[in-house]
Amino acid sequence: MFQPAPRRLELARLVRPLIAPTTYARGFHLFTGLLLGVAVAMVYPGLDGSGGTEISHGIALLLTPIPILTAFGLVAEARRFEGFQARLLLRPGDESDIAVTRSQTWPDRWRTALWLVLRVNLGWLGLMPAGNAILLAGAMIVSPTTREGVTFNGLTFGSGAANWWLVPLGLALIVAAIYYVAGAGVVLTKLGKRLLGPSASERLVALERRTEQLLEHNRLARELHDSIGHALSVTVLQAGAARQLLATDPGFAEKALDAIEETGRRALEDLERMLLLLRDSPEPAAPRPGLAEFDSLVESTRGAGARVEFKIVGALDAVPPVISREGYRILQESLTNVLRHAGPVMINVTIGVDAHDVELTVTNSVPTPDDERRLTGSGSGSGLRGIRERAALLGGEATAGAHDGHWRVHVRLPLRWTS
């Protein structure tokens, strides 16, 4: 079967180094390294171009810059300067493998010094042969069009149409020179990743920072789930009740609409606060509610048609702010689960505070066996999982399940970890 696509892919892969902007960006980086080596060699020990062979001058260009390049590489800021150039020219669009920070340790400084030496030497070894090959190719291409031919580096190329073969040979030599520069650029890029890449300590710091960001995003996701989930559950129940009783009990319908409005306003405030945190906005975010604001949570749940009885044992003022805020979200999610899975049933809430722990208990009746099966099956959902995660992060524990013919969520949060 004829399959032109793989052949086209192979051809594209073969041609890519000739047309890719990265090839020429890396070639320019090699050129700057070559110029740096020449400039340093002219300063110390000085190259006057007299005496010696071309090979000896080439070796001098490779070796004489090493002391000054090493001294410059040991300067802490050299790593930032070299890293910026390498990112811009060697890996445009992919900046994760090259650091742009000062050298923090002596190994970083020595790696930067080695990078400078290799960069200069690779610039010499990569561009000088390619440059000579391109000049030679130019002489070969032009020679057939002249009357007396062209001489380059002791080589003489004849003139006239009989030497037409010099033109394709010269073009092939140019293509080979470009491939050679592309290969040198690849080698330079690999060296840059190895010598200018983040050190082990920098990778650890970056990993810790990334872990903190993920944990913060996970916490905000739980906040959004609990807050908006509760608001939507209350709103759906209120809207359904208002629709059913709009004709027979307009007063109740009006109260339900007021409750929907108030619940929606609180949900928007929570959403705005979390968006400010996600955007790292300089504006201060509104404070998160705590157990002291539990009354508003009870009222919104009652507005959804549920009967809520709650009891507070102990002083809520003794609860640290972080535990108070997480406890509020745990109760909010527990009430949301009841409304979502059991509907407007009887709910008992107990908040107990002593010298060691905060205990939160939410118990609700299960009207029918079907609802009980639904509740039992919801234990693997994101709601109860979020409650367990919140409790675990605070060093506590959470349980949920059937208890004396009711569904109960019990959470214990220790106070000792904040001391």
The pLDDT value recorded for residue 212 is 67
Q: Are residues 329 and 378 in the same domain?
A: yes
The pLDDT value recorded for residue 377 is 42
Q: Radius of gyration of the chain from Cα atoms?
A: 37
Q: Are residues 304 and 389 in the same domain?
A: yes
* pLDDT beneath 50, residues of the chain: 1-3, 51-52, 371-380, 418-419
Q: Are residues 211 and 79 in the same domain?
A: no
Q: Are residues 103 and 237 in the same domain?
A: no
221-233 per-position pLDDT tens digit = 776 766 776 677 7
Residues forming a β-bridge with 363:
348, 408
Domain interval for residue 293:
206-418
* CA–CA separation, 251 and 173 (whole Å): 91
Q: HSE on the CB side for 105, CA within 13 Å?
A: 9
Which residue, of 180, 197, 214, is where some domain finishes?
197
Structure-token match 């609860």, residue found: 319
Q: Are residues 322 and 175 in the same domain?
A: no
The pLDDT value recorded for residue 376 is 42
The pLDDT value recorded for residue 362 is 93
The pLDDT value recorded for residue 178 is 92
Which residue, of 170, 197, 224, is where some domain finishes?
197
* CA–CA separation, 76 and 83 (whole Å): 12
Q: What percent of the chain has pLDDT over 90?
A: 13
Q: Are residues 259 and 131 in the same domain?
A: no
Q: Are residues 166 and 311 in the same domain?
A: no
257-305 per-position pLDDT tens digit = 777 777 777 777 777 766 666 665 555 555 678 888 888 888 878 877 7
In a domain, 385, yes or no: yes
Q: Are residues 339 and 311 in the same domain?
A: yes
In a domain, 14, yes or no: no
Picking from 336, 337, 309, 312, the residue whose alpha carbon sits closest to that of residue 324 is 312
- The answer to whether the CB of 411 falls within 8 A of the CB of 362 is no
Type of residue at 126: G
In a domain, 4, yes or no: no
Omega cis (within 30) before 65: no
The pLDDT value recorded for residue 184 is 92
Which residue, of 197, 221, 252, is where some domain finishes?
197
Q: Are residues 240 and 190 in the same domain?
A: no
Picking from 108, 110, 126, 129, the residue whose alpha carbon sits closest to that of residue 187 is 126
Number of domains within the chain: 2
The pLDDT value recorded for residue 100 is 84
Q: Are residues 216 and 183 in the same domain?
A: no
Q: Are residues 178 and 210 in the same domain?
A: no
